[in-house]
Amino acid sequence: MNPLNHPKFQKAVKIIDRIESCGGEAYIVGGAVRDYLAERPIGDVDLATSFPPEKIQKIFDKVIPVGIEHGTVLVRFESESFEITTYRTETGYKDYRHPDEVVFVKTIKEDLARRDFTMNAMALDQYGNVIDPFNGQKSLAEKEIISVGNPSVRFNEDPLRIMRALRFASQLNFTIEEKTLAAIKIQSSLLEHIAIERTALELEKLYGGAGFRKTVPLLLDSGVARCLPLFKEDPSLLNNLPKQPLKSFKELAAFFCFLKPSWTIKRWKTEWKLSNRTGHSAAEILNSIVNYKKSNGLTPWLVYQLSEDLYESFQNVAAALDLAGKHELTKEMDDIYHSLPIHSQKELAFHAEDLINTKDHLAKGPWIQRGMGQLERLVVERRIKNKYSELKEWADQWNPPESN
Q: Binding site for Mg(2+): which residues?
A: 44, 46
Amino acid identity of residue 345, one-letter, is Q
Q: Which residues are known binding-site members for CTP?
A: 31, 34, 115, 158, 161, 164, 167
Q: Which residues are known binding-site members for ATP?
A: 31, 34, 115, 158, 161, 164, 167
Residues contacting residue 225 through CB under 8 Å, at least 6 positions apart: 219, 231, 232, 235, 238
Q: Which residues are known binding-site members?
A: 31, 34, 44, 46, 115, 158, 161, 164, 167
